[in-house]
């Protein structure tokens, strides 16, 4: 039996939680010690919808990663813990992670 450890975000290193549905991708930066969402973005946001009307592409996911990275850097946080929620690291999840890294996040 394999037991995975729980990924926890702190104030210094919050958790980048990614959820991927069939149509959209959602990302949140969460501080688990305060139970508080610092920043969130998805392919449903107006900023993303204006660029990418279809949210299930890798380019739309990368753009979401860029936006969430920029929003978090405005809050003076650079390091995060990546939580992909038992999903494989490829496709849209990988594109979001690469976009966040391009924006300047470290994980």
Residue 91 CA to residue 80 CA, distance in Å, equals 20
The number of folded domains in the chain is 1
What does the buried/exposed string (b/e) look like for 19-33 if buried means 16 or more CB atoms within 10 Å of the residue's CB?
A: ebeeebbbbbbbbbe
Residue 3 belongs to a domain: no
Q: Is residue 75 one of the residues assigned to a domain?
A: yes
Q: Is 87 among the domain residues?
A: yes
Domain membership of residue 48 as a residue range = 15-103
Q: Is residue 7 part of a domain?
A: no
Asked if the structure places residue 93 within a domain, the reply is yes
- Structural domain contains residue 32: yes
pTM for this one? 0.90
pLDDT of residue 1: 46
CA distances to 48, 84, 96, 97, 100 from 59, rounded to whole Å, are: 10, 18, 9, 12, 13
- What span, in angstroms and rounded, lies between the C-alpha atoms of 72 and 61? 17
Residues 74, 77, 82, 84, Cα dihedral to 10°: -30
Residue 69 is assigned to a structural domain of this protein: yes
In a domain, 2, yes or no: no
CATH number at residue 53: 3.30.420.100
Helical residues (DSSP H) of the chain, grouped into ranges: 46-51, 58-74, 92-103
- Tens of pLDDT along the chain (107 residues) come to 444 578 888 889 999 999 999 999 999 999 999 999 999 999 999 999 999 999 999 999 999 999 999 999 999 999 999 999 888 999 999 999 999 999 999 99
């Amino acid at each position: 039996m394999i037991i995975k450890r729980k990924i926890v975000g702190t104030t210094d290193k919050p958790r980048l939680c990614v959820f991927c549905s069939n149509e959209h991708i959602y990302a949140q930066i969460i501080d688990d010690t305060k139970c508080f969402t610092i920043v969130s973005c998805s392919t449903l946001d107006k900023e993303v919808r204006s660029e990418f009307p279809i949210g299930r592409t890798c380019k739309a996911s990368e753009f979401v990663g860029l936006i969430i990275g920029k929003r978090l850097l405005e809050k003076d946080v650079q390091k995060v813990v990546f939580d992909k929620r038992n999903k494989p690291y490829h496709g849209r999840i990988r594109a979001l992670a690469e976009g966040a890294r391009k924006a300047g996040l470290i994980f």
